[in-house]
């Protein structure tokens, strides 16, 4: 009888932990992040520079180059590296 009670308690604790951990799943990708990822993929596949379509922030959107680099505000125009990166 004691063994059944111990197994039941362990099962309840395990079940509660599984439910708690399942809520820690990664959040779904935001529309802005998806647009950036899609633009970078398209630039690499087509070999042409691509600017992502983002509502309201078009002037802040980076330009993705065919080699996968992104250039835009705060980036070196020649290399695409961040201007504030340590040298």
Closest CA to 73 of 86, 57, 87: 57
Residue 6 lies in a domain: no
Residue 85 lies in a domain: no
9 vs 36, which has greater pLDDT?
9
What pTM was estimated for this model as a whole?
A: 0.51
Residue 53 lies in a domain: yes
How confident is the model over 10-55, as pLDDT tens digits? 999 998 888 777 777 666 767 777 888 888 889 889 988 888 877 6
From 3-12, 20-29, 64-73, the region with the lowest mean pLDDT: 20-29
| Domain with 35 in it | 30-72
Does 8 score more than 90 pLDDT? yes
Structural domain tally of the chain? 1
Residue 86 lies in a domain: no
């Amino acid at each position: 009888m004691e063994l059944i009670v111990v197994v039941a308690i362990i099962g309840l604790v395990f079940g509660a932990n599984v439910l708690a951990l399942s809520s820690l799943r990664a959040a779904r990708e935001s529309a802005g992040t998806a647009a950036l990822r899609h633009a970078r993929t398209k630039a690499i596949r087509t070999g042409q520079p691509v600017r992502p379509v983002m509502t309201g922030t078009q002037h802040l959107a980076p330009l993705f180059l065919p080699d996968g680099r992104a250039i835009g505000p705060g980036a070196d125009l020649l290399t695409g590296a961040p201007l504030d990166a340590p040298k």
